[in-house]
Amino acid sequence: MLSCNIFKKLFNFDLNLEFNVSNEILVFFGPSGCGKTTTLKIIAGLKRMDKGYVCFDGKIFDDTDKKIFVKPQERKFSMMFQDYALFPHMSVFNNIIYGVKNSKDKETIKRAEELLEKFNIKHLRNLFPLKISGGERQRVALARALMTEPNLILLDEPLSALDYEIRLKLGNELRSFQKDFKIPFLLVTHDHEEAKRIGDRILYISSGKIIKETPVEH
């Protein structure tokens, strides 16, 4: 389980959130600028907070009082950004296996092939990111996020560039992935329908605070 208590002074308000994520899809829902991305980056270790902690399964990854900070690359948390952050000089396939230690072994190749199949991007495997569409890049980024067998997945607007039909399909697949992986997923969206479709629980965020929390019936 991920446990967080986060305080950070932002330009216009203070970010102040306390929450846990167990083996479920927790959605952060809120308007642009309310602090969603900043929160994911603090959890990933890509931004520092002013006060608080981030713990996962009893291990401390960040604690401002105890002066503990674990580097992002040592957290085994996978983050997918809004802008996908794919490597432009690498093929789709190499982007997906990037970050896996034994990228040449059979299991890795098999897993990458399965993800290519699952995300319907098999035909793109040798192309470079600039040659494929935004929606396709998003699917490659999703496959990469799931490739490294992380303990936790942080998804920042993972479906925002996709057509409605594909959003529905990938949304369902995200739910089935979460059930297969049995790890916490934290997903950011400002689409309420999507929050209800994908999430097990929704935290409504406004100006850096949780204003409401609701479970979702599926």
> Which residue ranges make up the site for ligand ATP (CB under 6 A)?
10-12, 30, 32-38, 190
CB of 15 to ligand ATP, least distance (A): 7
38/178 with CB nearer ligand ATP: 38
Tell how far CA 116 is from the center of its chain.
18
Over its C-alpha atoms, the chain yields an Rg (Å, rounded) of: 17
CB of 64 to ligand ATP, least distance (A): 16
40/146 with CB nearer ligand ATP: 40
Q: Among 191, 207, 210, 211, which Cα is nearest to 199's?
A: 191
Helix axes 164-181, 134-147, angle to 10 degrees: 0
**H-state helical runs in 45-105:** 92-97
CB of 134 to ligand ATP, least distance (A): 16
CB of 36 to ligand ATP, least distance (A): 4
33/99 with CB nearer ligand ATP: 33
CB of 151 to ligand ATP, least distance (A): 23
102/134 with CB nearer ligand ATP: 134
Contact partners, residue 12, CB within 8 Å, separation at least 6? 33, 207
Rounded Cα distance between 170 and 92, Å, is: 18
